[in-house]
Structure 1
Amino acid sequence: MNILVKSAKIIAPKSNYHQQTKDILIENGVISKIGDTITNNEDYELVELENLHVSQGWFDSSVSLGEPGFEERETIENGLQTAGLSGFTGIAVNPNANPIADTNADISFLKAKAQGKTTNLYPIGALTVRSESVDLAELYDMKNAGAIAFGDYQKPVSNPNLLKIALQYSQNFNGLVLSYPQENKIAGKGIVNEEATATKLGLKGIPALAEELQIARDLFILEYAGGKLHIPTISTEKSVALIREAKAKGLDVSCSVAIHNLFLTDEKLVEFDTNYKLLPPLRTEKDTNALLQGLNEGTIDFVTSDHNPIDVEQKKVEFDHAMYGSIGLESAFGALNKLVPMEKSIEMLTAGKSRFGIASEEIEVGNSANLSLFNPDLKYAFSVKNITSTSKNSAFLGEELKGKAYGVIANNQLLIKDY
């Protein structure tokens, strides 16, 4: 496909064109020319949008899709379409469909279903069989089938010896192990953050200790076993401190934060809206401030939407019985860009690539075009009309956001919203 992008401000700190407004000519999926004014002599597809900015394609390290088994929540096709329209050229897909993706056949199925799409799908294989924390899954076979990491989505590794073995074994093929940070015996039957708001509302709480104890355990195991560990979606002040200390020791550990844990606090729970029932739970303002500090100083490596579509039948119920999760792809950039400077937002939406072993294409002549297109200054109230996911369970409904994606250019395809 041949495309001419007109008057785009390039946000690419490692590129010679950083902060410059240029025309970009793309021929057969490759950037062939970058210049001040490029004429459209060949009648190429023209991309000309208000306040257009482009950056290296964004990557989301934690996306859940329904297929296979829960197609009423989200199909792979619609999920990838949603990701592309939200500015993401690549998403890491969690193994929490039905069946759990714990074999090479499951990984191959996901890869095959995503073939030929604009946005790339990178499967995360389950760390343990059926994510039950009893036996290790077929890690090496799944890696050969295309899995980029191994973890049980929102399910902690309850057996510490199993985590130790996983970290040791995965070193043979440079595998990345994910460990969800929650000690279930401490969390008990809690469903929200254990703080004053939970007490007022009569809801059972999950103490911050449940997360921090698990992180401390995992870091001790990592120090003993070696290997590469990623701790997804941390949410507390002490968690940031623990990981900061581990990095200072030289441990090979990374972590992410879900955008809703940066943007929202447990005060939202007073509405008893099940869209705010999340794992990890929304915490206090003290925690969100610590998370932002961790983000800005580099302790937190990248941000995820933690996109988790849940059908209405599982959300429009009593708070106690509702499933955890919020969609987040469509609101991720607008929420993050409201909290931190635009360049920091782009950094946090692209930094996960290197940790997950995904190649980055700089915006330079001769490279494949892997671009996110966006307007960083547009302010708007997020509403259902902004949602392209099949499920509508967004914790950001009604929130004032800043910045919106137009779409992407990737895999020799153009995908943009119809404005």
Structure 2
Amino acid sequence: MNLILKAATVIDPTSPFHKQTVDVLIENGIITDINTEITPKNNVKEIILDNLHVSQGWFDSSVSFGEPGYEERETIDHGLTVAAKSGFTDIALNPNTLPVTDTSASIGFITGKAHNKATNVHPIGALTVKSEGIDLAELYDMQQAGAVAFGDYKKSIQNPNLLKIALLYAQNFNGLVLSFPQENNIAGKGVMNEEEQSTLLGLKGIPALAEELQVARDLFLLEYTGGKLHIPTISTAKSVALIKEAKAKGLQVTCSVSVHHLTLTDSELTTFDANFKVLPPLRTQKDVDALLKGIEDDTIDMVTSDHQPIDIEHKKVEFDAAKYGTIGLETVFGMLNNILGLEKTVSVLTHGKEIFGIAPIQINKGNPASLSLFNPQGDSTFTEDRIISTSKNSAFVGKATKGHVYGITANGKIVLK
């Protein structure tokens, strides 16, 4: 497909066209010209969108669908349409399927289903067989099949020796190990943050200590073994401090934070709405402030939607019995733009690619067109009728957002809302 993006403002600090409003000519998936005005040829489609801005394609490091095994929550095909319309050219797909994505064959199934789509899928292989935390999965074989990292989604590695062995073994092929930050014995049967709100609501709490003990343990192990460790979706002030200290020591540790931990607190749970039941749990405003500071000083490497579709049968139930998780792909940009501003929002949505072995693509002539398309202006309230995901379990219904995502152009395709 050949097209021209008309009057597009470029947001890419690495590009010579940063902050310029230009026409972008794309032919067979390649940017062939960028100029003040380009006259279209007969076979070129013009894309004219209000206050169009473009950036390098956004990357989400923690996305769950349902296929295989939980197709009623989200299929790969429909999930990738959601991702594209939400502005993401690349996503890392979690292994929490049925069966768990823990073999080279299961990685091949994911990449096969995602073939020839606008949004690129980068599978995360399970770190342990069936994500049971007992035996390491076939990490090298999965990497050869296309896995970009290894971790058991929302399941922490309770055996420290197992994580030690994983960090040592993965160094043989430059593998990235993910470790979910929760000490289960401390978390117990908690369902929300252990603080004043949990006492008022009479719900069992998960203390910040459960996360921080695990983070501290994992950093000690990393210091001993070397290797590369990624800690997904941290949620407490102390976790930020621990990771900042580890980075200052020169350890190869990275981390992410979810958009809901940056924008929501445990005060949301007063309605007992299970859409706010997430893991790690929503924390306090003090934690939110520390996470935002971690974004500002680059202690936190990336922001994720931590998109986790859950069908209504497992969400519209008693709070204690409801499954953890919220969808978030469709609201990431609007929520972040509201609190971080345009350039920082684009930065945190594009920065994490290198950590997962994905090469960034500068907006310049001769490069593939891997672009997110959006309008950063315009305030609105997110409503349920705007959800295009199959599952509707969004914690952001009724929340203020800023800007509008048009879609993406990538892999020679264009997907618009």
Q: TM-score, normalised by structure 2?
A: 1.00
Q: Is 1:363 the counterpart of 2:363 in the alignment?
A: yes
Distance (Å, rounded) in 1 between the aligned partners of 2:41 and 2:300: 46
Distance (Å, rounded) in 1 between the aligned partners of 2:359 and 2:387: 29
What residue is the counterpart of 2:109 in the other structure? 109
What residue is the counterpart of 1:85 in the other structure? 85
Distance (Å, rounded) in 2 between the aligned partners of 1:404 and 1:174: 38
What residue is the counterpart of 1:23 in the other structure? 23
How many percent identity over aligned positions?
A: 64
Distance (Å, rounded) in 1 between the aligned partners of 2:252 and 2:266: 32
What residue is the counterpart of 1:154 in the other structure? 154
Q: Is 1:344 the counterpart of 2:338 in the alignment?
A: no
Q: Is 1:222 the counterpart of 2:191 in the alignment?
A: no
Uncovered stretches (5+) of structure 1, i.e. residues with no partner: none
Offset of 1:410 from its aligned partner? Answer: 0.2
Matched position secondary structure for 2:243: helix
Q: TM-score, normalised by structure 1?
A: 0.99
User: What is the CA deviation profile of residues 61-109 of structure 1, one whole-angstrom value per residue up to 9, with x for unaligned ones?
Assistant: 0000100000000000010000000000010000001000000000000
User: What is the CA deviation profile of residues 362-383 of structure 1, one whole-angstrom value per residue up to 9, with x for unaligned ones?
Assistant: 1000000000000111211001
Uncovered stretches (5+) of structure 2, i.e. residues with no partner: none
Letter in 1 for 2:334: G
Segments ≥4 residues shifted beyond 4 Å? none
What residue is the counterpart of 1:253 in the other structure? 253
Cα RMSD of the aligned pairs, angstroms, is: 0.5
Distance (Å, rounded) in 2 between the aligned partners of 1:400 and 1:117: 31
Distance (Å, rounded) in 1 between the aligned partners of 2:303 and 2:295: 8
Matched position secondary structure for 1:157: coil
Matched position secondary structure for 1:26: strand
Q: Is 1:391 the counterpart of 2:357 in the alignment?
A: no
What residue is the counterpart of 1:184 in the other structure? 184
The aligned runs of 1:304-383 (5 Å cut-off) are 304-383=304-383
Offset of 1:359 from its aligned partner? Answer: 1.2
Distance (Å, rounded) in 1 between the aligned partners of 2:43 and 2:7: 17
Offset of 1:43 from its aligned partner? Answer: 4.0
Distance (Å, rounded) in 1 between the aligned partners of 2:321 and 2:332: 26
What residue is the counterpart of 1:166 in the other structure? 166
Distance (Å, rounded) in 1 between the aligned partners of 2:194 and 2:42: 62
What residue is the counterpart of 1:14 in the other structure? 14
Distance (Å, rounded) in 2 between the aligned partners of 1:199 and 1:381: 31
User: What is the CA deviation profile of residues 16-55 of structure 1, one whole-angstrom value per residue up to 9, with x for unaligned ones?
Assistant: 0000000000000000000001011224121110010000
User: What is the CA deviation profile of residues 271-306 of structure 1, one whole-angstrom value per residue up to 9, with x for unaligned ones?
Assistant: 110000000100000000000000000000000000
Matched position secondary structure for 1:351: helix
User: What is the CA deviation profile of residues 155-208 of structure 1, one whole-angstrom value per residue up to 9, with x for unaligned ones?
Assistant: 000110000000000000000000000000000000100000010000000000
Matched position secondary structure for 2:323: coil
Distance (Å, rounded) in 2 between the aligned partners of 1:385 and 1:52: 24
What residue is the counterpart of 1:243 in the other structure? 243
Distance (Å, rounded) in 2 between the aligned partners of 1:384 and 1:196: 30
Offset of 1:407 from its aligned partner? Answer: 0.2
Distance (Å, rounded) in 1 between the aligned partners of 2:393 and 2:355: 29
Offset of 1:386 from its aligned partner? Answer: 1.8
Distance (Å, rounded) in 2 between the aligned partners of 1:59 and 1:115: 17
